[in-house]
Amino acid sequence: MKAVRLIVIALICLAFGFSSIEATPSPQITFNKDVAPIFYNNCVVCHRAGEIAPMSLLSYKDARPWARSIKEKVVSRDMPPWHADPAHGKYSNDRSLSEKDIKTIVAWVDQGAVEGSARDLPRAPQFPGGWQIGKPDLVLEMPQEFTVPAEGVVSYQYFAIPTGFREDRWVQAVEIRPGNRAVVHHVIAFVVGPDGLRRRGLLNNEGGVEGLAGTAPGEMPTAYPDGIGKLVKAGSYIVLQMHYTPVGSPQKDRTSIGLIFSRRPVRKAIMGGAAINRFFAIPPGAENHQVRSAYTFREDAHILHLMPHMHLRGKDFEFRLVYPDGRERIILSVPRYDFNWQTRYELATPIAAPAGSRVECTAHFDNSSKNRWNPDPAKTVRWGQQTWEEMMIGFVGFTLDRQNLLESTATANRRD
Ligand code: HEC
């Protein structure tokens, strides 16, 4: 028996030996020819100076020292960060690499991570003034600098910036640029109507205030497809909700927000809904505490994007669309939620949600000591704004089927 096995092994070795001799030698994989295009398309939005990633991957010189770590992170699919289960939907902003790209990177590293010929290097992508959305039409800045103390908990700070708009404007893309990434934990931008600031309670995201954009660690800027825009009325203010986290020394921040106005006529306004549950209590030590929420569509609509939001104890999050006749389908599943990556999942094809259908969200929280992010497994955890408290929100971005702003302006003009 042993002998047979040995022969078999020998034969296998021979077969492999021969095949490697016979195969054409695999071509040299180089940074300039093969790897730079992958990094340009998939990594440098974050991996360049001034952005959230710890190192730049724009040039060979920048990337070479990280070769081994790069191989490890792309093989494990930790990088690029992407957390949707591919079984349940296609997203236009899917950052994950193809198998082919992963193989190319692995081969490059295994072959010694060489640079290659300068002639092969494609032109690096441009980020004018650091903006990912392109050069903004308008940049609004916090009216004054804010000093973040060295220690302690800083309650949310609100800064109201007048837009100065004399007429209603449609916005197609929005990007928030933190002034000092070391201390800016997250920013949410709201649009408040001209009289909004005078009304009480408007600055705590309740009633009358519309979300405009958010930036949390890992979140990419908002950009809508042509024909879809966000309405910002004349005289509106943009209010920035700033969540600062002290880092041991006093720091200054002045965050700005860039807007690109819609260049094409806008047919539909982007609307926002949220499946929220504020009434949960996660027991101490609970490993898999379930919380559910729902959002019902009152009119026929199409869903454009989805975004789960939880804090440090968030474990997984699922969005199901339940049709009026009871049929249902999963439209987004994030099996391993990671608080560090607040991703808005843009559906590759908008999904029809007829009137009466519901988006049902199911989340699980891990309040045990197994969760390495857990600030305190001994606490009962309830809804709250600080990161050691929790949230459970399934944001839904959609348009209304009946809405056609082009037609209504045409009709209005005819009536004139
Ligand atoms: C959306 C932003 C983003 C994208 C896209 C992205 N990264 Fe990262 N990357 C980060 C951040 C932030 C970190 C540091 C925190 C972490 O490890 O999660 C990081 C860490 C890394 C590390 C580990 C560095 C270390 O300290 O050991 C490697 C390697 C890496 N990225 C490679 C890549 C490669 C290769 C790509 C593209 C194929 C890529 N990343 C795409 C944001 C990004």
Would you state the structure tokens that stand for residue 35, as one six-digit string? Answer: 């790897």
Residues in the chain: 416
Mean of the pLDDT values across residues 222-229?
Answer: 90
Residue 74 Cβ inside 6 Å of ligand 1? The answer reads yes
Average pLDDT of 243-253? 94
271-400 has which fold? Jelly Rolls (2.60.120)
Pairing of strands 228-232, 268-269: parallel
Is the pLDDT confidence value at 326 over 80?
A: yes
- Of the pLDDT bands very low, low, confident and very high (cuts 50, 70, 90), residue 218 is low
Q: What is the pLDDT of residue 212?
A: 74
Query: Is there an atom of ligand 1 within 6 Å of 69 CB?
Result: yes
Residue 416 banded pLDDT, cuts 50, 70, 90: very low
Share above pLDDT 70 across residues of the chain, in percent, rounded to a whole number = 86
Least confident range of 192-196, 246-250, 315-319, 344-348: 192-196
The reported pLDDT for the residue numbered 14 is 44
Averaged pLDDT for residues 9-35: 64
Query: Has residue 411 got a pLDDT over 70?
Result: no
Mean pLDDT rounded to a whole number for the chain: 87
pLDDT at 379 over 80: yes
3-class state of residue 172 by DSSP: strand
Domain ranges for the chain: 28-125, 130-266, 271-400
From 356, 311, 305, select the one nearest 331 (Cα to Cα). Answer: 305
Q: Can you read off the two tokens belonging to residue 376? A: 């305190």
Q: How confident is the model at residue 17 (pLDDT cuts 50, 70, 90)?
A: very low
pTM: 0.82
Shortest-distance Cα residue to atom 26 of ligand 1: 54
pLDDT bracket for residue 164 (50, 70, 90):
very high
Q: How many helices (H) and strands (E) does the chain have?
A: 6, 20
pLDDT at 408: 65
Q: In which order are the strands placed within the sheet that holds 237-244?
A: 157-162, 237-244, 184-192, 210-215
Least confident of 48-57, 190-199, 379-388, 389-398: 190-199
What's residue 43's pLDDT?
Answer: 94
Residue 389 confidence (pLDDT) above 80: yes
Positive or negative, the CA dihedral 70, 72, 77, 79 is: negative
Look at residue 24 in the predicted model and tell me its pLDDT: 56
Q: H helices of 23-129, where?
A: 36-42, 60-63, 67-75, 99-110
Instruction: Tell me which residue of 356, 388, 365 sits closest to 375, measured CA to CA.
Output: 388
CA of 81 to the centre of ligand 1 (A): 7
**How many angstroms separate the CA atoms of 302 and 401, rounded?**
7
What is the pLDDT averaged over residues 183-190? Answer: 86
Residue 9 has pLDDT above 70, yes or no: no
Establish whether residue 95 lines the binding site of ligand 1, counting it when its CB lies within 6 angstroms of any ligand atom.
Answer: yes
pLDDT at 150 over 80: yes
pLDDT at 1 over 60: no
Q: Is 46 in the pocket of ligand 1 (CB under 6 A)?
A: yes
Q: Ligand 1: which residue has its CA nearest to atom 23? A: 69
**Section 230-255 average pLDDT:** 92
Instruction: Write the CATH number of the domain with boundaries 130-266.
Output: 2.60.120.310
Q: Please tell me if the CB atom of residue 232 comes closer than 6 angstroms to any atom of ligand 1.
A: no
Within this chain, domains 130-266 and 271-400 share the same CATH topology: yes
| Tens digits of residue pLDDT in 107-146 | 999 999 999 999 999 999 988 778 888 899 999 999 999 9
What's the pLDDT at 129? 79
Tens of pLDDT, residues 72-111: 999 999 999 999 999 999 999 898 999 999 999 999 999 9
> For ligand 1, is residue 97 a contact (CB within 6 Å)?
yes
Which residue has its alpha carbon closest to ligand 1 atom 43?
46
**What would the mean pLDDT of 176-186 be, rounded to a whole number?**
89
- Tokens (6 digits) for 103: 């193989």
276 CB neighbour count, 10 Å cutoff: 17
CA distances in angstroms from 315 to 14, 44, 214, 357, 373, listed in the order given: 49, 28, 21, 26, 11
CA separation, residue 355 to residues 89, 268, 293, 295, 322 (Å): 22, 17, 18, 12, 11
For 341, counting Cβ atoms within 10 Å of its Cβ (0-12 exposed, 13-18 middle, 19+ buried), the class is middle
- Give tens-digit pLDDT for 337-369: 988 787 889 999 999 999 999 999 999 999 999
Helical axes 99-110 vs 67-75, angle rounded to 10°: 150
